[in-house]
Amino acid sequence: MMRVLGIDPGLRNMGWGLIDIDGNRLVHVANGTLHSEGDVLPARLLSLFQQLSAILIRYAPQTSAVEQTFVNKDGAGTLKLGQARGIALLAPAQFGIEVGEYAPNTVKKTVVGVGHATKDQIAHMVRMQLPGAILTGPDAADALAIAICHAHHATSRARILKAAI
């Protein structure tokens, strides 16, 4: 069994979702949204880092995945998102956990089957693939989708490596 942490980076709200891979079965463990605290950027980043570190300590995932940042019209917003994404990469790395990175369209295509799926479609397919999971919000649903994407890609990589031996 392997535990996977998916992280949907955001400066105000950072989604997280944990699943276990048990053979070919995916099992929901937990999900939630971290909310940054503080009035200045360094304090907000620190609060996200501390909260994410607490999740890593509590649930002890073996691997993790983060959604890649896309560039939007607002350069300052993209830069801030990139800094939050840095926290999402740094916290698992500090615990010696490998971090996979996936483009938003790759996550959507893996989970929904369409690269331009809506948030509602993502949440619906996450619920279908993780029966009984209660999603705490759209950021948490996205994080679970990232974890599912990583699980599928990691499983495929493992099968290819096993076949090559």
Residues with active-site annotation? 8, 67, 139
Structure tokens at 31: 């999900």
Instruction: Report the Cα 64 to chain-centroid distance in Å.
Output: 7
Q: How far, in Å, CA of 52 to CA of 3, rounded? A: 16
Residue 89, helix vs strand vs coil: helix
Q: How far, in Å, CA of 36 to CA of 76, rounded? A: 18
Instruction: Report the Cα 131 to chain-centroid distance in Å.
Output: 18
